[in-house]
Amino acid sequence: MLHTLMHSPYYSDLNTLLLLLTAEDDLLLLQDGVLGALEGSSALTRLLASPATLWVLTEDVIARGLAGQISAKVRPVDYTGFVALTEKHQQQMTW
């Protein structure tokens, strides 16, 4: 399943999201969800401990002026990559 976190992880039900993630899942951080990829943040620590593959939408990172603050442990993806993730997963859930 593709999970998309569109809101700040500090204003989302992160606990439930983390409980639902499996090793077959991809989690894409976009819009204000990119705050979850900030280096050294508690949200990043929790997200990286999940079994899912963690992605961050580059365009939203740049739009928020956070390019130098995103962890190298999170995979960057552009809009083309976002489309590829949606094609990979028939089921999707937005947070």
pLDDT in tens, the chain (95 residues): 999 999 999 999 999 999 999 999 999 999 999 999 999 999 999 999 999 999 999 999 999 999 999 999 999 999 999 999 999 999 999 99
Q: Judge contact between 34 and 59, C-beta under 8 A.
A: no
**Strands annotated E in the chain:** 2-5, 26-29, 53-57, 75-77, 92-94
What's the pTM value of the predicted model, to 2 decimals?
0.95
| pLDDT score, position 33 | 98
Residue 61: CB partners within 8 Å, gap ≥ 6? 34, 37, 67, 70, 76
The reported pLDDT for the residue numbered 72 is: 97
- Can you name the CATH fold of 2-94? Hypothetical Protein Ychn; Chain: A, (3.40.1260)
Residue 48: predicted pLDDT: 98
Domain ranges within the chain, ordered by starting residue = 2-94
